[in-house]
Chains A and B, each alone.
Chain A
């Protein structure tokens, strides 16, 4: 009954919103903006568009375009140095989850005396960050509405920073930025967002009525539009719905927690560099089937949102239909679904299962069904 709910105070959703980004910073009284992105965003011309829009509004811009996937700490530190030298008074994160996660930390560290490694963990950050605006170009991680950043430290370990200051001032959704996403990225990030909604709704730890309302609406949007954007990547309305669904799923999970699907996905990313969304997509179908006995009622409730208009005989058949609809979505997504074809050796399975139960128990705690190490191994073997 008791819980806390945090939200980004301002969300703008508009096709062509990138052209208006200058006004967004003007409203925040920021005049010297550091743009944090990756080389792909420069190549697509989005960085130039952002710079032009900012300059037209009277801002001076510096571009840091060296973000890479699972951003190393050193990359974040480089961006911070550039931001300090430039005397940035605002930060724009533009890109996928990695760029947004990096931009959050950069905004926090530019005026801070803390070092990046001082922030690892929960609520370690002190002081205020610079004005921060986040624009996702995938739908998505939901990073634009969460207070988490994940980076890779010098020892190749994933480190998470949880801090209220990481929530941006404004999240801006512009579906035009996602029109050109390759199908595999669209599929992986779209399924990732669905996992956020599903795991938030079934979370055993912090599920609450607010996250429930967001998760169900998110699932309705994502489930209703993923096939559309895969069939026609230039469908602006469907791309917009995917971004909105991803954002709402992000709001839901950050206030309710994710669970074992994420737990089993992490070792695939850490050990084999499988992109985060794809890693979730790999394990989501078997995990949902595994969870069915414990989550039957919740999956039945979600069936009404994933399969609106369908009439079910009873709870069991609704839950079954939900599981089958997820399996079909993953199968039809075009993503590789077998670990063996992704360069993963069978011998690693035991070690990955050990990673999950030793290092990621908190995610199993949020899962609707408990898992032993043997059961984790069983899931990996089932998709090998």
Chain B
């Protein structure tokens, strides 16, 4: 019997230049004063002007908070919350990468119902209602626009998560125009990150279900079919839209069928060496796939149909190997670091990394094959 619960964002709009409709959408949600949460890079790039003008044109007063930092520290989140309270925001728009969207979630939550951020780290401790929330991702991506988690860095440099169904936004808006200027390395890292979401959701040990499976395979098909194209043709709006959709679908999948060892092994790389999240995942992806092969053979074989559509395989072993070979070749041709040594890791760090990876037990339990500390160390060593 396959019992499961599936939760997601109730409304997704995929539309080139959709950000110019933000004013109308805010009015639909009953808001005349909004806080726009974004980061300094997007402001410098001039990407915020047109959406803000569109909001004003619709008669919506918009206040900008553009100081979101990567891996948002508590203090930065609380500043954004204060900005929301000061302007008496009736709705929140997150526009940016995963950090902006995570910050926007918490602003909507804490402005909607006064509570201490430190009281709600954990699962379902947050109280509603939150303010109406629209999420506009500018990478493809984290999938944060369709997940119920926000990650914060505490003053003691710990990562803490708020997990609550209240964090699903009212609307996720996918506007490919906002992603055409992404540097190739960022497109590549975030694209591989999204593929990892789809793969790990599909092989997730406990909560995998038919809905997450259907979304994950479709996500992988879109991502595998368009990642090379956005690197070759950064302004191809159709390919950029497909990447945003793929990332969103992968997010819907892993929000309900959680990720596993790739993410568990990636986290210590971010924590100790400040490797961007997508790159951390990409670095350990291939050795984890090879490690999982024996336990996930039939699942990887099924995923071969998504990344190599139309190709015929005589037996599951062949399909599984074709899938792993496809992912290996894809990662190898990406314009980013391929070895841990390139991001500053040395042999001497491997023990500490392995110890920390073992602490991410909440994700390791989702892996199709149990991972011991020695396994983790061997995986790191293989890509040093």
Q: Which residues of A contact B (CB under 8 A)?
A: 1-15, 164, 167, 208-210, 212-214, 216-218, 221, 236-237, 240-241, 244-245, 248, 304, 311
Contacts and interface: CB of A to CB of B under 8 A. Distances in A.
B215 interface: yes
B10 A167 contact: yes
Contact of A5 (B14, B18, B237, B305): B14
B118 interface: no
A237 B11 CA distance: 30
Given A11-B5, A13-B3, A15-B3, A2 B14 contact: yes
B10 A7 contact: yes
Contacts of A236: 1
B3 A209 contact: no
B1 A248 contact: no
Contacts of B3: 13-15
A102 B221 CA distance: 38
Interface in B239-261: 241-242, 245-246, 249
Contacts of B351: none
B168 interface: yes
Interface in B127-182: 165, 168
A10 B8 CA distance: 7
B131 to A, nearest CB: 16
B5 A15 contact: no
A10 B7 CA distance: 4
A7 B242 CA distance: 19
Contacts, number: 105
B174 to A, nearest CB: 10
Interface in B1-32: 1-16, 18
Nearest to B3: A14
A167 B9 CA distance: 13
A139 to B, nearest CB: 13
A218 B10 CA distance: 20
A244 B241 contact: no
Nearest to A214: B214
Given A10-B165, A13-B3, A210-B249, A5 B11 contact: yes
Contacts of B13: 4-5
Given A5-B11, A5-B12, A240 B2 contact: yes
22 contacts: A1-B238, A2-B16, A5-B11, A5-B13, A6-B11, A6-B12, A7-B8, A7-B11, A9-B8, A9-B10, A13-B6, A14-B3, A209-B222, A209-B242, A213-B249, A214-B215, A216-B218, A217-B213, A236-B1, A237-B1, A237-B2, A245-B210
Contact of B211 (A11, A208, A311): A11
Given A7-B9, A10-B7, A216 B2 contact: no
A214 to B, nearest CB: 6
A221 B8 CA distance: 21
A330 B160 CA distance: 54
Residue of A7, A15, A218, A240 most packed against chain B (CB within 10 A)? A7
Given A9-B168, A221-B210, A248-B210, A4 B218 contact: no
Nearest 5 A/B pairs, CB to CB? A213-B218, A217-B214, A14-B3, A2-B15, A11-B6
> Counting chain B CB atoms within 10 Å of each CB, which of A3, A164, A212, A245 scores highest?
A3
B214 A213 contact: yes
Q: Which of B12, B15, B241 neighbours the largest number of chain A CB atoms within 10 Å of its CB? A: B12
B4 A13 contact: yes
Nearest to A13: B4
Contact of A209 (B9, B10, B15, B218): B218
Contacts of B219: 213
Given A1-B241, A9-B9, A244-B210, A213 B14 contact: no
Given A1-B16, A7-B8, A13 B2 contact: yes
Nearest to B256: A11
